[in-house]
Structure 1
């Protein structure tokens, strides 16, 4: 007789920890906070907990501790309303679409790169078309080696959307294409270029794809907003408002709302804040499903198809290798959030066109996470974690409020045209810029731990996209620090050496550590620190206790800019 093995006892990970009440935890937390404070300046429990809260752009507060709410909302399941937990159950073998972007204008080089990607783990192709990418007439050649019945193809364009869509349609219409997207997004193009949005091609694009399986016509691409500085709740709100604008237009052209709903795909940014990225994707699906519910779209069709792309705003030109770390965190967040497709931008994107090596690193970032670290083995692995659930609620609530505000003001097209979107983005960016300037929001390798004497990456330049004055221009977080480094480079070109600033060794406690901190600060701007008695172009002034101007909450950008002015570095 076969005896079934005994099932192992459940692991009780917290069994040996004494139970604590919320009040006890607050007292313990206050004791930790007060350890480094003088006797007469101790904080009470409420003040101590408040000091541990952190603030995210967009009005989101992050608590130091999350516990089960007294009356929690039902968690739900993937593939069902409200779709917070995913559009569908995840396939552990193919958890998401590994989508690689190609924007090299050389059609032959792009064709070769596309094939190499597909042979090494990429599952779909993304061609960027237009002035800053591949010519529409070269789309067919770039895809000549692609098995369209196996690999989906999508196109995007800021300035030649109609031509890009037509070029892809010509390729797909003669094949047994499994899926793809023609990339129509007139409001996204208007945001990025400043041109007037033309929604007229949408209805015809949807109609002509009636017998083309899973090929979609429309992509709501909010990267233009995010790269210009939009907060995460605002980006989600802009995605919802743009999607509704397309639904409204298609309905006016006689397109059934269910068919229109099917054709919309969302392309959003994924940042190195992995939990905020996950919350944004979960909130977007929840809100879009609610919109579908109000329009009587059948439940099975309400789940939003999401394509997450590593944020261009977080990428740095200097110490570009750290972009690999940022992309890994962003990909992890996109996986937690249940993205249907993920694109990792090559680490050298800021420097120009990517190389075979940087594309390999980009695709392998996803493949390693999915297949070797097993982050994709569970659908919505963060579901039920109260911190993630609370963050999702906050993003969804804030985004819905902004979405309603846009709708009341006339919709997304009107908000773009009258500058309301740009105004909102500008307000969000100002808050982030202040955090970057004081290094409350540090950038590894740029504003903190800079690499002295770094040689810039040499890449073929990417062609510049012509835009109008009202365009949303990308604003990378590191650009202001890179501008300081450029001033030092220009000085070195003229004088044969970088700007030199004399840094005295102080007669104070931890003098060596303080000097190292000061030297690292100067390196942020590419300034060489020299001994106090050496030849120098400027002097870092000292006080009895430290270096003048150097403080924890100082505006680093303003301080270093003034110091470069003193050395004579060109502005």
Structure 2
């Protein structure tokens, strides 16, 4: 049977790339190939509709194996990531009880967020009571000013418990640049502080104590290549300055943890993690780190390959989370979790779907945990290392992401390094500009947030479920001297629009006056219903009317404030003036589409049109103003 199959396939002549493209162009019937099928990403490169074996010829990254330098395919020979859940610690006894419960529910990595005033030996002992530090990854986040003290407390605690510190693993999240990026406050003595943290960290050999919080860029709306490029520059700043201060490169590199966000751009995110490991390995290798012990990853000349391994924690994005139709956040975070785990991360936090508007409850936290456990226990994502290896598409995306991220990295280095770029505000301004472009894409539906700017549930109300959170302990209100990242989510302006409609106590009605060509009126009424529902208006669809007069009277009987004429372009020249005259100013009149007769209709006073080129957000803001909704 196998021989027959081989003979069958051998009878087909090979098809060239040019032949494939000719066939596609023929099927496009005159449409431009590049405009129709080539995806021009915001990341700075184009993605083509098909790739072939010839597109990966000569790529060196396809030759390495998992666990081998430059670690494109992963830093280890398996894909078993840590399932992390974070706990904001208010009561240490209660947090301990919850942590112990989580360890019985599939979690094997705990993230404790502790207020600076609560960092003391007694509290840490109460927090870790009954938890095996050699079995569970323990991660801690507190104010930078308490990082050294916390590390000493942990080391003393482990020694007192008789634990083997060489088997204890986790992190203390010392982030020297967060205040600059988030608070707008310069940190001039960051090198001295980082040196003290590294010194203290020697007591915890397997703890990562220097953080590259690239998730800040992701949550501020950066493009994927920006997140990666700036993360590499951030990590290199730590390597360069701390090695100059007297630490060995391998010691510094092995103490850095990269915390990345994950967007819903599925394939590009897989490529990002692959490209990130590759580029970081090359950066570290350029410092020629010397191996301090016998290791199978050492080169004959003593260079340390282990130091070049990027340690990655990933967290699902907040930028694309929504308050309205919040359960759709589950779809987004599941896609994000899939791309991160397929991309080969070391640990993962899936944020609960209600994270952005309330303190997550037991249900939402359980669902978030189970999203990861499903990928392990049912989909077996942990059983295959780098399943995308050899894919023409993803291998090319990996190279494209790497190229653009590397350009950003080099630009930052040419300007004096990451600290200098942040101090000058260049990093913040570049990411805020990218976020503004993405928000403009959301406003015009070129980037879709399901349930917000497309297919919204207009019957939902959300004001009552939004809980206010307390202020942070780091002095957010202190005077800013630097530009800061803007963390407004992509959906925020749409949500503000809907909340203003909701809080006004009014429920405007948008009535679909469907008439004429059946296919066109149905398509345009569906489009228009989705359009006006984005502002929380009640939409009233119809099967069709025999005359525009009958449609107008039905709209008035329904109490409509907006009447949308839905028909075909050819029929608008006759129907639109009739409907406009019959309405006689009793409601806002809108034509769905962009007919060729638009200018003639405008000359007759019909000046409101909605179509696929409309800025949905700005158009709806204008309608809110016309309807006196503030």
Query: Could you state the TM-score of these two structures normalised by the residue count of structure 2?
Result: 0.81
Aligned to 2:281: 289
Distance 2:529 2:405 in 1: 43
Question: Secondary structure, in 3 states, of the residue corresponding to 2:333?
Answer: helix
Q: For residue 504 of structure 1, give the secondary structure of its aligned residue in structure 2.
A: strand
Q: Distance in 1 between matches of 2:328 and 2:336?
A: 13
1:277 corresponds to: 269
Query: Residues 302-329 of structure 1: CA distance to partner in whole angstroms, max 9, x if unpaired?
Result: 1101111101112111111111111111
Distance 1:549 1:140 in 2: 65
Alignment of 1:344-423 (within 5 A): 344-423=350-429
Pairing 1:30-179 to 2, within 5 Å after superposition: 30-34=25-29, 42-43=30-31, 47-69=32-54, 71-74=57-60, 75=62, 76-90=64-78, 95-103=80-88, 105-130=90-115, 135-136=118-119, 140-157=125-142, 160-163=143-146, 166-167=149-150, 169-175=152-158, 176=163, 178-179=168-169
1:246-257 correspondence runs (5 A): 246-257=238-249
In structure 2, relative to structure 1, the CA distance for the partners of 1:278 and 1:294 (3 Å cut) is same
Contact map agreement 1:238 1:403 (CA 8 A) in 2: yes
- State the shift of 1:248 in Å: 2.0
Deviations for 1:53-112, whole angstroms, at most 9, x for unmatched residues?
Answer: 112212121110011236322311122221111111115xxx101111222544454333
Q: Quickly say closer, same or farther: Cα 1:173–1:249, change in 2 above 3 A.
A: farther
Q: CA deviation at 1:246?
A: 1.1
**2:254 & 2:186 partners in 1: Cα distance?**
26
Q: Distance in 2 between matches of 1:361 and 1:101?
A: 14
Q: Which residue in the other structure is 2:513 paired with?
A: 504
Q: Which of residues 157, 161, 177 in structure 2 aligns to 1:187?
A: 177
- Find the aligned partners of 2:212 and 2:175 in 1 and give their Cα distance: 6
Q: Distance in 2 between matches of 1:79 and 1:501?
A: 59
- 484, 499, 512: which one aligns with 1:471: 484
Q: Which moves more between the two structures, 201-210 or 413-422?
A: 201-210
Q: How many residues align?
A: 543
1:4 is matched with none
**Retained in 2: the 8 A contact 1:111–1:142?**
yes
Cα distance in 1 for residues equivalent to 2:264 and 2:372: 14
> For 1:198-209, what aligned pairs fall within 5 Å after superposition?
198-209=190-201
What secondary structure is seen at the aligned counterpart in 1 of 2:78? coil
Give deviations 1:323-374, integer Å, cap 9, x for gaps: 1111111111001111011110111101121111111111111111012111
1:490-510 deviation line (CA, Å, top 9, x unaligned): 112xxxx42334443344433
Residue 17 of structure 2 is aligned to residue 22 of structure 1 = yes
Residues 206 and 216 in structure 1, CA contact (< 8 A), matched pair in contact too: no
Gaps of 5+ in 1: 1-6, 35-41
- Cα drift, residue 513 of structure 1: 3.9
What is the DSSP-based 3-state SS (H/G/I as helix, E as strand, rest coil) of the residue aligned with 2:623?
Answer: helix
SS at 2:486's partner residue?
coil
How much has 1:229 moved relative to structure 2?
2.0
Query: What is the 5 A alignment of 1:457-468?
Result: 458=465, 461-465=468-472, 466=476
Q: Distance in 2 between matches of 1:61 and 1:185?
A: 34
- In structure 2, runs of 5+ residues without a counterpart are 290-303, 541-553, 566-571, 577-590, 593-607
Spell out the pairing of 1:482-501 with structure 2 (5 A cutoff).
Answer: 482-492=495-505, 497-501=506-510
Structure 1 position 556, deviation (Å): 0.4
Cα deviations across residues 151-195 of structure 1 (Å, max 9, x unaligned)? 1111234xx223256335413431125101111111134212222
User: Does the C-alpha gap of structure 1 residues 504 and 14 become closer, same or farther in structure 2, counting only changes over 3 Å?
Assistant: farther
Report the alpha carbon displacement of residue 19 of structure 1 after superposing the two structures with TM. 4.2
Structure 2 contact 89–114 (Cα < 8 Å) conserved: no
